[in-house]
Amino acid sequence: MKLPIYMDNHSTTPCDPRVVDAMLPYFTEKFGNSASRNHSFGWEAEEGVDQARKHIANLIHADAKEIVFTSGATESDNLALKGVVEMYKEKGDHIITTSTEHRAVIDAAKSLEKKGVKVTYLPVDKAGRVDPDDVRNAITDKTILISIMLANNEIGTIHPIAEIGRIAKEKGVLFHCDATQGVGKIPVDVQELGVDLMSFTAHKIYGPKGIGALYVRRKAPRVRLAPMIDGGGHERGMRSGTLPVPLVVGFGKAIELCAQEMPEESVRTMALRDRLQDGIMGAMEEVYLNGHPTERLPGNLNISFAYVEGEALLMGVKEIALSSGSACTSATLEPSYVLRALGVGSDLAHSSIRFGIGRFTTPEEVEYTIDRMIKAVNHLREMSPLYEMAKEGVDLKTVQWAVH
């Protein structure tokens, strides 16, 4: 087993070597501009792009023409929200989303709010799921877009997207889904889910960084978007700019591999995740699972370890790459807003660790992680005044803390 261990696969994933192999010729021999219509260099590049587009469309049960390439999911989310609002502003000025979306959606919504758009941020339940009835009740005759993620990036909770899709269709409101964490890991069918726009990206599924896609429905309804980037009219005019052909080809290959391997891979990653969960939670008291017990991404595990602080815990297992909802690990010095939205107290949000099992995680790495986590938590609890007080029977909630 090699150290360090990478167990932060929600953050990004390594490129699959098969993806790199597929990309390489497009840097050198097949370097053409896929928009060049008059010579074989262009045709060759275009063929690579077409094939990738087909693989991507097939995986999500869409038409190849409905795939718009972008620089990544952040751009896709921005294009979906801002593009729809700009295009449909005559129709209304209200959008609905949730409080646990990725920052790319939340911050795009906040930026629209400054321009006068009204945004409803729906709450989620303790497991992180939005109630479809809340979505229905939030819709007004001014609502032009609903944007709800498929699966949460911190806790892995999967939203009831198909149900929300039916409501959106019934009410005639466009439905965008940020599926960045779900595509390639769980089956995604845009017809079944009833989504009109969907964001996803290559680097979360063993493809290269710098390429993502926005699915834009062409029929029933035909979705129109105001572009954010003007230029040569690429991607049906919705996203101008020469396509990064090697990245597009890598994205296509990554998706092709996911399509082939998903049935086996999701079973394997879930088994490793379950072992990690049982190994850690079975060995210690006062550890809490964040997220939904079953409606969750196969590789996701998010746990709060009471009485220890997340960043200190990461430091204790520094040969394992993980992430924490602790304020100390964020730029804002606020603990995870996702965990706060579930009703997790700030103290437990500070104590949370996210594990991300991926394609290349081994059983050996999981066993090592279990062992190291138990030791690190015990070390820190021994050092923790909160643990000591709890052991003495002090109810920490009744203590008057000097909040600083």
Partner 1 sequence: MAYSEKVIDHYNNPRNMGSFKKEEDGVGTGIVGAPECGDVMKLQIKVENDTIVDAKFKTFGCGSAIASSSLATEWLKGKTVDQAGQIKNTEIVQELNLPPVKIHCSVLAEDAIKAALNDYKKKADTEGETAEAATPA
394 sits near partner 1 (criterion: CB under 8 A): no
384 sits near partner 1 (criterion: CB under 8 A): yes
What is the C-alpha separation between 107 and 120, in angstroms, rounded?
13
User: How many residues in the chain?
Assistant: 404
Contact with partner 1 (CB under 8 A) among 114, 220, 222, 401? 401
Contact with partner 1 (CB under 8 A) among 17, 116, 293, 385? 385
Amino acid letter, residue 159: H
What mask of x and - would describe binding to partner 1 in positions 321 to 340, judged by CB under 8 A? Answer: -----xxx----x-x-----
Q: Are 135 and 164 in contact (CB under 8 A)?
A: yes
Ramachandran area for residue 237 (φ above 0: left; ψ -120 to 50: alpha; else beta): left
3-state secondary structure of 221: coil
What mask of x and - would describe binding to partner 1 in positions 250 to 289, judged by CB under 8 A? Answer: ----------------------------------------
Contact with partner 1 (CB under 8 A) among 283, 345, 371, 378? 345
304 sits near partner 1 (criterion: CB under 8 A): no
Q: Does the annotation count 328 as an active-site position?
A: yes
Give the burial class of 404: count Cβ atoms within 10 A of its Cβ; 0-12 exposed, 13-18 middle, 19 or more buried. Answer: exposed
8 sits near partner 1 (criterion: CB under 8 A): no
What mask of x and - would describe binding to partner 1 in positions 186 to 205, judged by CB under 8 A? Answer: --------------------
Closest by CA position to 8, among listed 381, 360, 391, 343: 360
Greatest CA separation for the chain:
80
* Distance in Å, CB of 126 to partner 1, minimum: 19
Nearer to partner 1, 276 or 341 (CB): 341
59 sits near partner 1 (criterion: CB under 8 A): no
Q: Are 268 and 362 in contact (CB under 8 A)?
A: no
Q: What backbone phi and psi angles, to 5 degrees, belong to 129? A: -100, 145
Residues that bind partner 1 (CB under 8 A): 307-309, 311-312, 315-316, 326-328, 333, 335, 345-347, 350, 382-388, 396, 401-404
